[in-house]
Chain A
C-alpha cells in the first residue's frame, strides 16, 4: 500500500501534508462548536451521578463516542449487570460497522498503523466528512487526522471542564446545540444528492427510521433504518450507461 505522502504531488512534501491537515481541521470547525459543550454535558452529568473524575475522563478518552457514553452513564446509574451495559453500547454503535465497511474501502492511502489508529476516531461527523473528502480530492491521513485533532481535543477539554464545573452547566440546549448535529448531517446528506438513487434511498431510510424510533425506540432505529435503505439500494436498478458514482457535473 502507498502512503499518503507518496500519493501527493512530488513537490508537495511536508507542505502538502500540512495543507491537507489544515483543511481537515477547518472542516471540523462546525462540529467542534458542539464537541466541547457536549463533552462538558457528559462530564457534568457523570459527576452529578457520583462517578469519580478519573473514570469519567477515561470514558471520554477511550470510548470517544458521545451517544454510547450517555447510554453507558444511564445504564450504570440503573445498576444493571455489566454485560447489559456493554451490549447496549454495542447496540448504539452498531451503525459504525456500516461506516467502517464504507470508508475502509477508501483508505488505500493509509498504512496499517494509521488505518487502525484512524478507526479508533471514527465518530459520526468524522465518517461523514471522510466520505465527502473521498468523493472529492481523495481521503488521505493528513486530512483525516487534521479533522481528528481539534475534535478529540475539544471533546476531552469539554469533559474535563464538565467534571470541574459541572454544576455551572445548566442547559446546553439553550443555544440550539441539541440540533447542531442533525442540521450538520442534513448538510452532508444534501451534499450526496447527485449520487445514484439518492432520493429513494433517503426517503426509505428516513421514513423507516422515524417510524422505528417511535415504535421500537432508540438506538436500533438508526441501524435498522439504515439497513432497510441499503437493501433497497442493492435491489434498485442502476441507471443504464451511468457510472455507479453518479456525482458527475451533469446530475
Chain B
C-alpha cells in the first residue's frame, strides 16, 4: 500500500491525464453501447437519433455566431449563403478571409 501511495504521489499528473483519457473514451463509446442494447429502435428514438447531427451541430454553430461579436456574426451569416453554392473548404477559405479583413478594418 505504501508503495502504491508513493507511485500515485510521484505520477499524479500522468495518472490524472490517463483518467481524463479514460473518461473521454468512455463517453465516445457509451452512446453506441446504449443503442446496441435495443433489438429494435422505437420510432421516436429513431427520429431523435436521425436528428443528432442537426441538433448538436446547431449548438456548435449558433452560440459563436450570436455571441462572439458583429464581425463573427456577419461572417457566419454570409457563410450560410456560401454553403448553398460551395463545398466546405471553399466556404472556409472565403469565410476566414472575410473574417480577417473584417477584423482588421473594423478593429473589433
* Residues of chain A at the chain B interface (Cβ within 8 Å): 29-30, 33, 51-52, 54-55, 58-59, 62-65, 68, 72, 76, 82, 85-86, 89-90, 93-105, 107, 115-116, 119-120, 122, 124, 128, 131, 174-177, 179-192, 195-198, 201-207, 209-210, 213-214, 221-222, 225-231, 233-236, 238, 244-245
Contact of A68 among B18, B24, B58, B80 (CB under 8 A): B24
Q: Are B57 and A185 in touch, CB under 8 angstroms? A: yes
Q: Does B68 contact A (CB under 8 A)?
A: yes
Are A201 and B92 closer than 8 Å at their CB atoms? no
**Contact residues of B: prevailing secondary structure:** helix
Contacts of A124 in B (CB 8 A): 60
Q: Which residues of A contact B18 (CB under 8 A)?
A: 58, 62
B48, A234: Cβ atoms under 8 Å?
yes
- On chain B, the residues within 8 Å of A175 by CB distance are 96, 100
Minimum distance in angstroms from A98 CB to a CB of chain B: 5
Contacts of A97 in B (CB 8 A): 27, 30-31, 34
The total number of A-B Cβ pairs within 8 Å is 262
Contacts of A184 on B, CB cut-off 8 Å? 88, 92
How many chain B residues sit at the interface, stated as a range, is 35 or more
Q: Is the CB of B58 within 8 A of A29?
A: no
Decide yes or no whether B36 CB sits under 8 A from chain A. Answer: yes
* B interface residues, Cβ below 8 angstroms from A: 12-14, 16-21, 23-25, 27-36, 41, 44-68, 72, 75-76, 79-80, 83-84, 87-89, 91-92, 95-96, 99-100, 103
Q: A192's contact among B12, B53, B91, B95, by CB below 8 Å, is which?
A: B53
Contact B58–A187 (Cβ < 8 Å): no
8 A–B contacts, CB within 8 A, in A order: A95-B59, A104-B35, A131-B52, A182-B64, A195-B54, A222-B60, A233-B55, A234-B44
Distance in Å: Cβ of A163 to nearest Cβ of chain B: 14
Determine the distance from Cα of A235 to Cα of B100 in the docked complex, in whole angstroms. Answer: 42
B64 touches A179 (CB 8 A): yes
Q: Is the CB of B89 within 8 A of A30?
A: yes
Chain A neighbourhood of B79, CB < 8 A: 183, 186-187
Known contacts A52-B13, A183-B92, A205 near B54 by CB under 8 Å: yes
